[in-house]
Amino acid sequence: MSQYTPFEMIAYTGSRVLEDNKIVFVGTGLPIIASMHAQLTHAPGLGLIFEAGPLAPMLEMGMPLSVGDTRACRKACYLKGLSSVFELTQRGHADFAFIGGAQIDMYGNINSTYEGGNYIEALTRFPGSGGAGAMAANCEKTIAIMALEPRRFVNQCNFITSIGYGDGSSDYREKAGVMGSGPYRVITNEALFGFDPETHRMMLLEVIPGKTAEYIQNKVSFDLMISPDLKEMAEPTDKDLKLLREKCDPDGFFLARKVK
Amino acid sequence: MKQTETSSAIRNVSATEPEVLKKVAGAETPFKWWGPTPEEARKIMVNKPKSLHDKRTTIKEAVAKRVKDGMSLGIGGFVNTRPPVAIIHEIIRHGAKDLTLCFQSNSICPELLAGAMLLYPDHVSIKRVELAWWGYEVIGIAPLLRYLNSKGMILMDDYTNYGMSARFKAAAMGIEFIPTRDHGGSDMELTNRGIMVKSPFSGKNTYLVPACYPDLGILHVSAADMYGNCRIFGAHCTCPEIAMASTYTIVTAEQIISNENIRTYPNLTEIPYSAVDAVIEQRFGCHPGNSYGFHWFDMEHILMFRSASDEFRKTGKSDKLKKYYEEYIFGCETYDDFLSKLPYKTLKKLRDMDGGQPVILS
């Protein structure tokens, strides 16, 4: 088995979670790489939405560097603007939201607004919701993608930018006025999480070979539920790594980064 | 604090302190329009001359005519896609204080204004920002946003990208607000100027966002005729909505095309002439951004400006940042002077990297 970087594992697992003949609404970076890999392998019929306007472009010029750029738009089936594609999600056209974030809590609520200080004077202001808040609200299922670091898997987000299951109550999302069914998977370099259908709490589904559930729990601030059917994560093959490195992110914008 | 009879259960999970909630944009009562009221915006539109007349001018004249202190500025494009940089340069040269910036996602435009505010506070300043996202995407976070926010120097009013787009769309429709299926159940429900209500039809919770009517909209498009009919190739972003939401709209275009060609393909007109007040042909008018069919990003130029900005944020040293403004903005009379400072080989490479996407111009 070849050596792979943490972000290559994330991208490969992201690809694995996606399904053929569905539509995925993708954010910048790793979600794009994962979706490209899925299209090149098990999901040739996967349609992509980028929020600046395109539906089902052909990514034959390489990885888009911005979700509105030429590469993201080229040879799309439908190409308008932000209003059009987000309205498609409200109407149920997007099966998956594929987003990142800085913090996530046990109910899959995600922060991408700020960390430290307060909302008005933040120690570390992030760019903000962008499309993520709307994608998490109205795509049918939300897939979150981030590195498994204790500072990210928190008891309480400083700010909830993208709605998950809120406080876990069964009617939280309905009271929020959103349409999607909510968090589905959280993809990290060392673990794949899902959510318990009853309590809406994050549940460990798969762990990287060689590590234990306890090891994963120690990297997460809240109590994890552990699947009774806990599995090992599949690892990328040489062919997968070649695709990721040569086709999906040849300049190493995302895959070459290090986990802190 | 924001008063609402109906809400989601966000308060059960929110970490936002009550003291902070007293100071957020959504706490402003009673609600005030930050630009014109819908009635004022309509009245100005009604009184505009509606003839097909030649609206070509220079960026300098258009900015001198329309840019005023205290105004709200709707910025077109999306992150690094067609940001109206040429107009931003001229606004910085002209000077504008206490601006309200309105956009969904942008990179270099608000960063350029933020840098000008930090270096020349008596000449340019931002009072508040209605936005969804401010950053450089693959390149990284926006250093000057982070700096300004950490010092509480600008009021931020956060929405989603759909929220901001829908707000412009509502203004383009001439209405006061629009229901969306997002923001509810997030902290934005507590902080922004939207409000959760019960649907008068089903009784279900529905989030309303106020329309966004900027005093001035600024855009860069693929092509326009001399009357202001605009054609956009690649992602439309929210440019049509912003043009139609704004009281006045200034457009730069990669190319001015004939009205005859506009009339040959009327379905390709995304912005009608009545929504545009000034048109300028400006090749590379969104550099260092990307313009589908014309040119790719200038990554090296973005990195240069961003690294000068990041040095200022981290060390407070402003030499490099100041040098950028002195050389590329204040050292230029026009945007063509700025473009003349870029090597021909760079511009050629950017044009080639876009891959010659097909666009209809004749």
The per-residue pLDDT for range B55-84, each reduced to its tens digit, is 999 999 999 999 999 999 999 999 999 999
Per-residue pLDDT for B1 more than 90? Answer: no
Catalytic residue among A8, A51, A115, A190: A51
The chain B residue lying nearest A163, using CA atoms, is B186
CA distance A119 to chain B (A): 7
Instruction: Give the pLDDT band of residue B299 (cuts 50, 70, 90).
Output: very high
> pLDDT of A178-210, one tens digit each?
999 999 999 999 999 999 999 999 999 999 999
Residue A171 — very low, low, confident or very high, per pLDDT cuts 50/70/90? Answer: very high
Q: Give backbone dihedrals phi and psi of A140, rounded to 5 degrees, phi first.
A: -65, -45
Instruction: Provide Rg for chain A, Cα atoms.
Output: 17
For the segment A85-143, what is each residue's pLDDT rounded down to a tens digit? 999 999 999 999 999 999 999 999 999 999 999 999 999 999 999 999 999 999 999 99
Looking at residue A1, its pLDDT comes to: 60
Do A125 and B145 lie within an 8 Å CB cutoff? yes
Q: What is the mean pLDDT of chain B?
A: 97
User: 186-245 in A: which are within 8 Å (CB) of B?
Assistant: none
Q: How far apart are CA B253 and CA B57, in angstroms?
A: 12
Run of H or E residues at A6: helix A6-17
Quote the Cα angle for A149-A154-A160, to 5°.
Answer: 120
Give chain B's largest Cα–Cα span: 61
| Predicted confidence (pLDDT) per residue in B144-199, tens digit | 999 999 999 999 999 999 999 999 999 999 999 999 999 999 999 999 999 999 99
Residue range A6-248, CATH number: 3.40.1080.10
A86 touches chain B (CB under 8 A): yes
The domain defined by B31-176+211-353 folds into: Glutaconate Coenzyme A-transferase (3.40.1080)
pLDDT tens readout for residues B194-227? 999 999 999 999 999 999 999 999 999 999 999 9
**pLDDT over 80 (residue A224):** yes
* Distance of alpha carbon B320 from alpha carbon B303, whole angstroms: 13
Rounded CA gap, B183 and B186, in Å?
Answer: 6
Segments making up each domain of chain B, as ranges: 31-176+211-353
CB A34 within 8 A of CB A15: yes
- A-B CB pairs within 8 A amount to 264
Of A72, A87, A129, the CB nearest to B159: A129
Q: Compute the nearest-CA separation of B343 from chain A (Å).
A: 23
> Residue B17: how many CB atoms within 10 A of its CB?
11
Neighbours of B76 (CB within 10 A): 35
Could you read off the pLDDT of A45-92 as tens digits, one per residue? 999 999 999 999 999 999 999 999 999 999 999 999 999 999 999 999
Banded pLDDT at A260 (limits 50, 70, 90): low
Domain boundaries, chain A: 6-248
Mark whether A51 is an active-site residue. yes
